[in-house]
């Protein structure tokens, strides 16, 4: 019983530590660019609700840690709330009382406001690049060639004429570098024909393979679905082991971020075309489950403490990088209340030459809140189904 309580405590502590760090970097992006432009920042909060710790800096910013540690915000002078929607009355009062409004966010040029808003997601992407880079600086990466071993009878690969000993060199016009590259391409395209180029001896053969949808387990044992060809890697496949310099590691991290963003966009596109059910999408509950379960699994493993610490650090770096990309991507969705919604308003202002009316902005924020609540309900249902599959 005591052991279980300790594991729960470790899982919760790790989750709140990871999510708070990622949110801090997101908000630090907003804050840093705002201060670079000389914009007044009233509050920098990790979490919502009443403050449990706060300190006022010389710049006038009140740095806070609040009671509900599931978010954060930067509040500029003249904001109506944590979403940085303008408060017309407060802005008029500032203008009347102070006269000089050059340090007020909502009176700055639209391009500066857009950069301040964009800086949050960009900070998450930069952090993810660094975390991915640290991982490959620490451990080598393994790249087996895409050489086919066994072909399952009746599988999509068998139906297309794929044979043992074939080497996959391209899919949908894209060069396949190794087995991992091939697997990632297949997993995201169930029930979708893939134009595949095979090297068979001295010849190149073109076939069309349509991956079937299967149910599988992810790295912590949760339910997932993916596309599958029905092949295994050949025991004769050559394996390349790569070590990275700091510069190469940053290039690798950048490519991983781009790949993660494009894969997420591809998956969302498949949802809208009816090719995916959206169950892979989750919210804070799934993040908590993945971080917590990873922590407990490492803690329970029968291995020396030094190995446990290394495995834990690597797992948190990888998870942190993936979650950071997801946080940046989610905030760029063009829904009012999110950074992407603000950018849509600023794009309108840049094109029209004037901001959207206060009334329309307030309506947009209300609609945005309704959409976010609906999404939260749907994603929470997904999270519950995922948790029950463990």
Q: Where are the alpha helices (DSSP H) in the chain?
A: 2-36, 88-98, 110-138, 156-160, 179-187, 246-272, 284-300, 305-331, 339-352, 358-388
Q: Torsion-angle region of residue 60: left (phi > 0), alpha (psi -120 to 50) or beta?
A: left
Tokens of residue 130, six digits: 């660094």
Q: At what angle do helices 246-272 and 110-138 cross, to 10 degrees?
A: 120
Tokens of residue 10, six digits: 């470790």
6 contact partners, CB below 8 Å, separation of at least 6: none
C-alpha dihedral over 300, 301, 303, 305, to 10 degrees? -40
Catalytic (active site) residue 203:
no
Backbone angles phi, psi at 74, to 5 degrees: -115, 125
3-state secondary structure of 334: coil
DSSP assignment, residue 152? -
- Give the span between the Cα atoms of 120 and 27, in whole angstroms: 6
- Among residues 27, 42, 97, 98, which one is catalytic? 27
Q: Which residues are catalytic?
A: 27
């Amino acid at each position: 019983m005591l052991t279980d309580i300790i594991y729960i405590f470790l899982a919760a502590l790790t989750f709140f530590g990871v999510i708070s760090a990622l949110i801090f970097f997101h908000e630090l992006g907003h804050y840093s660019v705002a201060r670079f432009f000389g914009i007044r920042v009233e509050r920098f909060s990790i979490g919502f609700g009443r403050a449990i710790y706060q300190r006022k800096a010389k710049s006038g910013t009140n740095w806070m840690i609040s009671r509900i540690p599931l978010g954060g915000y930067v509040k500029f002078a003249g904001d109506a709330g944590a979403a940085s929607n303008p408060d017309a009355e407060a802005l008029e009062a500032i203008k009347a009382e102070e006269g000089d409004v050059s340090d007020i966010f909502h009176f700055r040029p639209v391009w500066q406001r857009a950069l301040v808003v964009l800086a949050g997601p960009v900070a998450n992407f930069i952090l993810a690049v660094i975390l991915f880079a640290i991982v490959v600086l620490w451990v080598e990466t393994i790249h087996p060639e895409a050489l086919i071993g066994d072909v399952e009878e009746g599988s999509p690969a068998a139906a297309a004429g794929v044979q043992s000993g074939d080497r996959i060199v391209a899919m949908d016009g894209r060069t396949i570098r190794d087995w991992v590259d091939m697997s990632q391409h297949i997993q995201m395209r169930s029930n979708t024909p893939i134009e595949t180029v095979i090297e068979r001896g001295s010849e190149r053969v073109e076939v069309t393979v349509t991956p079937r949808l299967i149910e599988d387990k992810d790295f912590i044992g949760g339910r997932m679905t993916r596309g599958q060809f029905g092949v295994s890697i050949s025991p004769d496949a050559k394996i390349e082991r790569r070590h990275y310099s700091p510069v190469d590691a940053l290039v690798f991290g950048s490519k991983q971020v781009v790949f993660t963003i494009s894969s997420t966009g591809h998956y969302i596109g498949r949802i809208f075309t009816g090719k995916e059910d959206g169950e892979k999408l989750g919210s804070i509950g799934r993040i908590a489950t993945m971080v917590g379960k990873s922590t407990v699994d490492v803690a329970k493993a029968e291995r020396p403490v030094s190995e446990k610490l290394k495995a834990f650090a690597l797992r948190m770096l990888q998870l942190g990088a993936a979650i950071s990309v997801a946080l940046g991507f989610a905030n760029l969705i063009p829904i009012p209340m999110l950074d992407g919604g603000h950018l849509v308003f600023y794009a309108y202002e840049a094109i029209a030459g004037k901001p959207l009316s206060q009334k329309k902005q307030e309506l947009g924020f209300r609609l945005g809140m309704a959409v976010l609540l609906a999404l939260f309900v749907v994603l929470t249902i997904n999270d519950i189904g995922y948790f029950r599959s463990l």
